[in-house]
Structure 1
Amino acid sequence: MKTNYLISIVGPTAIGKTALSIKLASHFNTEIISADSRQFYNEMQIGTAAPTPSELAAATHHFIKHLSVDHYYNVGAFEKDAIALLDKLHQKHKVVVMVGGSGLYVNAVTKGLDDLPKIDVATRTLLNTRYQNEGLKPLQAQLKALDPKAYKTIAIDNPQRVIRALEVCLSSGKPYSSFLKGKDKTRAFKTITIGLTAERQNIYDRINQRVDLMITEGLLDEVKQLKPMQHLNALNTVGYKELFNYLDGTWDLEFAISEIKKNTRRFAKRQLTWFKKNENTIWFDYQYKLEAIVAAIKLEMDS
């Protein structure tokens, strides 16, 4: 029985994952699955650094700009959809490439999610309303009281993660952490994870340059178009929420841009912390030689 493979490309934002994914897709004559939870949305092109038309033309991509920002879509739905797609793709390709910086979405495909209870929609709506009106701190305090273990282990500064943990606590009457078994699901493919990294200052410099380029390419106009929908969860995203503050008159533009850079750097730090937990990741410097990465992948396939 032949073994199918998923090459998962991870690393911090602005490190060059998209370019590598296209090179590997070309080398293996295959297709690409995006595991970037914000590149799913059609209206969020510039601020998510979604693949350009020329990049999309270079390889077949999936889960790119296939939803509207008002469409509720979570990691559980992505796991189901991505695994179903992989089953189809592996019928014609021995190798499929996945790329993205959303760690939970990557893990959903490679390891599977824990089985969580059904969530009460009214509870989710209430928590999101509280977040919009009161901010994150009261929700963090509530989670600390209901589930101290989850409070210490999840990304506590990520509103989505806090709300997700709280809605499980409130809907089930049990701690969110009690549902986290930590057992990987069996997959019908072998995952080979390739990580890109760099010295921290190089990462930060690349982030700053990318933000400046986004502004030049029209990020502010993109955000203006989305202003009437700024309450949506999809738009609670670095690059958008800071410019909403500018458009609201809370910040000036220069400060908003500086906050985008700062918050993106913080995000990149969290990404590296998350991805470093996987001891099986094969790491390469962002100034890699493609031949070295291909050789490492083939070595894993032969092992």
Structure 2
Amino acid sequence: MNTTTKYLISIVGPTAIGKTALSIKLAQHFNTEIISADSRQFFKDMQIGTAAPSVEELAGAKHHFIHHKSIEENYNVGAFEKDAIQCLNHLFKNRDVVIMVGGSGLYNDAVTKGLDYFPDVKVSIREDLNKSLETNGLEFLQNQLKTLDPTSYSTISIDNPHRVIRALEVCIGSGKPYSSFLNKEKNKRLFTTITIGLTADRALIYNRINKRVDIMMEEGLLEEVKTLQQYKNLNALNTVGYKELFQYLNGDWTLDFAISEIKKNTRRFAKRQLTWFKRNENTLWFDYQTNLNTIIDKLKENML
């Protein structure tokens, strides 16, 4: 290993594939710590539904950015990039390797590549778009984005109102497509990232997701969601597992239907995750059952 170079090992892949377990094993092997890049595991109020590491797992290696924020705080990807880089700079003073794990592609890219620059836009534009969402619905905003920026319409998660409004406010505020600000030159990182991805046959991924949802329900997800009902309009809770159970608690859906929707929406999320992560041609992909030593050997090859 070239000890003059600092390495960030970034573990990516679809939800429920085993990223947390692998991250702990690698952290123990390299005697290092873990940064979480999962945008929902930041929130201490959301434990069961975000599949955050268990007490035992947290004891297996020191973690950063797990349950350190309240759902009432406005913590975004820009703030995370700044905090994560500061944390890495501190960790790399005494370590040559740090592990990062998480299924939030944008948050992962913020650390490994840096964020794109966007111009400031008037707050009133976002307020108007939020009113339009309430009055006209998401499909209206999606069609507006399709007209102003077809590229963003075809690449962002258009079923996420927050993402659609963000793209639209940049389009309207700047007079230029949101996509035109993407992939510009960014700040260089003082570390080398090695990205490893875990995958499996799609049917197996979907089966693992279905089982995980059942386990979450057994562990008390519904009770957790009940305690958060008064905050259901916060962006943090516009999250699979929570928004469907709010529909049940509102009396709109049966519990069985809400659970089936959680499974369906989580499977869709996993599909989007794979699409996002497979854009990186340098990722070293492994079957989720690959022997740990095989992964370590491949990592060390890339550190020479």
Moved more, 225-234 or 156-165: 156-165
Q: Name the CA distance, whole Å, in 1 between partners of 2:46 and 2:111.
A: 23
1:34 to 1:125, Cα distance in 2 relative to 1, 3 A: farther
SS at match of 1:192: strand
Q: Name the CA distance, whole Å, in 2 between partners of 1:292 and 1:152.
A: 37
Counting only pairs closer than 5 Å after superposition, residues 151-230 of structure 1 correspond to structure 2 as: 151-230=153-232
Query: Is the Cα–Cα contact under 8 Å of residues 42 and 69 in structure 1 kept in the other structure?
Result: yes
Q: Name the CA distance, whole Å, in 2 between partners of 1:145 and 1:134.
A: 16
Equivalent residue for 2:241? 239
The reply to whether residue 13 of structure 1 matches residue 53 of structure 2 is: no
Q: Name the CA distance, whole Å, in 2 between partners of 1:296 and 1:121.
A: 48
Q: Deviations over 1:157-209 (max 9, x none)?
A: 23232121112123323221221234454110000001000011110110000
Give the alignment partner of residue 269 of structure 2, picking from 267, 270, 273.
267
Q: Name the CA distance, whole Å, in 1 between partners of 2:36 and 2:261.
A: 26
Total equivalences in the alignment: 302
Q: Deviations over 1:243-280 (max 9, x none)?
A: 00000111000000000000000000110111111111
- With structure 1 as the length reference, what TM-score do the two structures score? 0.96
Residue identity in the other structure for 2:179: S
1:24 to 1:172, Cα distance in 2 relative to 1, 3 A: same
The runs of 5 or more residues in structure 1 that have no matched partner are none
Equivalent residue for 1:38? 40
Q: Name the CA distance, whole Å, in 1 between partners of 2:251 and 2:302.
A: 53
Q: Name the CA distance, whole Å, in 2 between partners of 1:134 and 1:45.
A: 33
Equivalent residue for 1:74? 76
1:125 to 1:60, Cα distance in 2 relative to 1, 3 A: farther
Cα deviation for residue 126 of structure 1 reads 3.9
Q: Name the CA distance, whole Å, in 1 between partners of 2:34 and 2:131.
A: 36
Q: Name the CA distance, whole Å, in 1 between partners of 2:195 and 2:164.
A: 27
1:107 to 1:200, Cα distance in 2 relative to 1, 3 A: same
- With structure 2 as the length reference, what TM-score do the two structures score? 0.95
- RMSD over aligned CA atoms reads 1.5
Equivalent residue for 1:92? 94
Cα deviation for residue 54 of structure 1 reads 1.2
Residue identity in the other structure for 1:291: N
Equivalent residue for 2:85? 83
- Identity, in percent, stands at 68
Q: Name the CA distance, whole Å, in 2 between partners of 1:128 and 1:297.
A: 45
The runs of 5 or more residues in structure 2 that have no matched partner are none
Query: Is the Cα–Cα contact under 8 Å of residues 76 and 113 in structure 1 kept in the other structure?
Result: yes
Cα deviation for residue 145 of structure 1 reads 2.1
Q: Deviations over 1:222-249 (max 9, x none)?
A: 1111110100011001000000000011
SS at match of 2:303: helix
Cα deviation for residue 129 of structure 1 reads 4.6
Moved more, 132-141 or 32-41: 132-141
